[in-house]
Amino acid sequence: MRALLLAAGMGCRLRPLTDSTPKCLVPIHGRPLLDYWLDLVFEGGIERALINTHWLSGQVEAHVAASPWHSRIDLVHEDELRGTGGTVLANRAWFRNDASLVAHADNLTDFDVRGLIEAHRTRPAGHVITMLGFRTDDPSSCGILELDRHNTVVAFHEKAEKPPGNLANGAVYIFEPEVVDDMAMLGKAKVDLSTEVIPNYLGRILCVETHGYHRDIGSPASLLRAHIEFSQGSRKDREHKRAEARAEPLKTVRR
């Protein structure tokens, strides 16, 4: 499977930090955000990744050239941002008409890539999208999901004032080729996945909730929380610590 990492955002809310640093290279614990993503997808079984660039693209290109993963990365520059779905459309030939992973790479995450791919492989009949879900502490700022008992997305509330829950769209998807074909039928160069694509597939999207870390680092407050909350070390180390915490027996008070 191939993966498109959407990394061209300007990070306006993080200024002045992003006046001189691309958002995808903003450091967390001394490592650029993009490096976490590259380790995540390639260690998770992704064959090749495409990264789109725009703001301060020269820095991103130089960083990728120095990456240990550089031989498996392709870059595409956008003089004008195309929107999340527009970038998918503009590079549809790169996906080779196969199921492909598309991710907003401005989130800090350590979700289980292999698990998401396996869930898509065994998805219910008729489903053409598998979506990562996560529990948010700020539901009104996210796209909130409603699921049926089979974990199919049946309703989607994009940044609603009073959303019905806290299970949010993690902006990581696996699309079947027909989804990209349907995007092309919109007849637009600029397309937004959250507002113009995802709502069209209610009842045909499988949601896989991550038990790992997932946070948008697009504001100074969120970036600070990521530094505080996100433990250093490998994804496997974090998974092991979470598993230990879930397995730890409840302590009883002796009288």
pLDDT one-digit tens code per residue, 84-132: 999 999 999 999 999 999 999 989 999 999 999 999 999 999 999 999 9
pLDDT of residue 160: 76
| pLDDT tens digits for range 209-240 | 999 999 988 889 889 999 899 876 555 555 54
Mean pLDDT for all residues in the chain: 88
Q: Which of 82, 73, 170, 81 is nearest to 129 (CA)?
A: 170
Residue type, 136: T
Burial of 207 (C-beta count, 10 Å sphere; 0-12/13-18/19+): buried
pLDDT of residue 163: 81
CA dist., res. 89 & res. 184, Å (int): 7
User: 3-class DSSP state for residue 101?
Assistant: strand
Give the pTM.
0.88
CA dist., res. 104 & res. 229, Å (int): 20
Q: How confident is the model at residue 253 (pLDDT cuts 50, 70, 90)?
A: very low
pLDDT of residue 246: 42
pLDDT of residue 236: 58
pLDDT of residue 234: 53
35-58 mean pLDDT: 95
Burial of 247 (C-beta count, 10 Å sphere; 0-12/13-18/19+): exposed
